Amino acid sequence: MSMIDVKVAAVEQVTPLVKHFTFVRQDGLAFPAFSGGSHVVVSMNVGGRVFRNPYSLMGSPADTSAYHISVRKQEHSRGGSLFMHESIEVGSSLQITYPVNLFALAKKAHKHILIAGGIGITPFMSQLFDLHRLNANFELHYAYRSPEHGAFADQLKASYGSQLRCYTDSQGGRIDLLALLSKQPLGTHVYVCGPNPMVVAVIETAKNLGWPDNTIHSEQFLSPGVGEPFKIHLKKSEIEVHVPADMSMLEAIELAGVEADYLCRGGVCGRCEVDVLESDGALLHHDHFLTDAEKASGKKIMPCVSRARCQKLVLDL
């Protein structure tokens, strides 16, 4: 996979939990332009163990001199976000992938409703530039816990005042999804990024109101999470791999020296999908990619976020 070597040019504490990082290229060249909603996977070497986490690119997609990401310190971080917060400083070196967009704007939409919860604001921070540049009709609805957790809210108010509505939970602010989504004109698309209950609520509300599936967009990167350790057998490589409690299957497979396909590493893109040849227990599917029927069939698994509870699991790798 093609990677870009970057250097951290600036670090800014945006809220008590969110830090903003500015990257420039080590080789001094320009980054590629990108499309609003894109993310990169940041590769971090934490004491010999490699973490690869996806983060949305922020800022203007036309600015090729620097890339920007924001990282929320996760309460139950396995190491990635904690490392970014505590060990990365100006001058640090990292590797990132080329931008990938799994949360693209629908260019033919007549109107765009963007709904962000907390750190879920990040993909919209680049989409807003595209929407503004394209003179699109849009509204941003941004909900956060309390005033000090509203990352970039002031900046957004200054740039998009009339198109922005903020909802502060500690002050009783709530998005009335039913009211919001039931009064939209035909050809409106809705985009949501935020905590799982919010994403589910937006999708369910829109579906119940009869919005076509292709007008509902969401992005929710999952972190691999922690679970019980288990063992897998890789058929083609003819090896056993132990998956420790705090490691994903994909990470364990890579650590064993087996090259596996991946893209987002957050259960969204489908690239790391692998065939399950045999299993004698339960597959714990955590991804957003496989359909319910595929999950139930037990024939496929996404090793980036999913786990298993079984004695025997044979993968086609």
Partner 1 sequence: MPLAFKKETFRDNYDYSNSQDAIKRFPFPFAEDQYMYSVNIEPHVKGKPGSVCEFAFDVDEHYVGECLDKQITLDLDRGRYAVLPHMMDAQWDFVELTMEALANDYPEHFSLKKDGLNWTWENKPLNIKHSFVFGDASTMPMDPFEYMSRQVQGDFVLLDQRDDTLYADGGFVTSQADWSLAFDVGMSWREWHAPVPRATELGVMDRALKYLMNIQLGSPVRRLNWTMTVNPRLDTSPENYPLWGTDRNTVNPENIEDKIHLRVELQSLFRLPRSNGIVFSIRCYLISLKELATYPRWAKRLHRVQKTMHPDLVEYKGMTKFHPMMVEWLSQFDDGETLSVGTQPE
State yes or no: residue 187 binds partner 1 (CB under 8 A): no
Binding-residue pattern over the window 113 to 142 for partner 1, x denoting contact by CB under 8 A: ------------------------------
Question: Is residue 29 a contact residue for partner 1 (CB under 8 A)?
Answer: no
Residue 171 within binding range of partner 1, rule CB under 8 A: no
Largest CA distance in the chain: 60
User: Is 61 among the residues that bind partner 1 (CB under 8 A)?
Assistant: yes
Residues 40, 123: Cα–Cα separation, whole Å: 11
98 vs 160 by CB, closer to partner 1: 98
AA letter at 184:
Q
Residue 28 interacts with partner 1 (CB under 8 A): yes or no:
no
* 247 vs 269 by CB, closer to partner 1: 269
List beta partners, residue 53: 42
Tell me which stretch binds partner 1 (CB under 8 A): 16-24, 93-101, 200-208, 302-310.
93-101
76 sits near partner 1 (criterion: CB under 8 A): no
* Contact assessment for residue 54 and residue 41, using Cβ atoms and an 8 Å cutoff: yes
Instruction: Indicate which single residue of 10, 29, 33, 200 sits in contact with partner 1 (rule: CB under 8 A).
Output: 33
Q: Which is nearer to partner 1, 66 or 104 (CB)?
A: 104
Q: How many residues bind partner 1 (CB under 8 A)?
A: 23
Contact window for partner 1 (CB under 8 A) among 46-54, 241-249, 268-276, 285-293: 268-276
Of 217, 238, 248, 231, nearest in space to 107 by CA: 217
Strand partners, 306: none
The reply to whether 62 sits near partner 1 by the rule CB under 8 A is: yes
Task: Indicate whether 267 belongs to the interface with partner 1 (CB under 8 A).
Answer: no
* Residue 271 contacts partner 1 per CB under 8 A: yes
Q: Per CB under 8 A, does 101 bind partner 1?
A: yes
According to the binding rule CB under 8 A, does residue 99 interact with partner 1? yes
Asked whether position 209 contacts partner 1 by CB under 8 A, the answer is no
Question: Smallest distance, Å, CB 129 to partner 1?
Answer: 11
CA 170, 173, 179 angle in degrees (round to 5)? 155
List the one residue from 28, 89, 108, 172 that touches partner 1 (CB under 8 A): 108
CA dist 217 and 207 (Å) reads: 12
Q: Is 214 in the site for partner 1 (CB under 8 A)?
A: yes
Query: Which residues in this chain contact partner 1 in the complex, by CB under 8 A?
Result: 1-2, 32-35, 38, 61-62, 97-101, 104, 106-108, 214, 263, 269-271
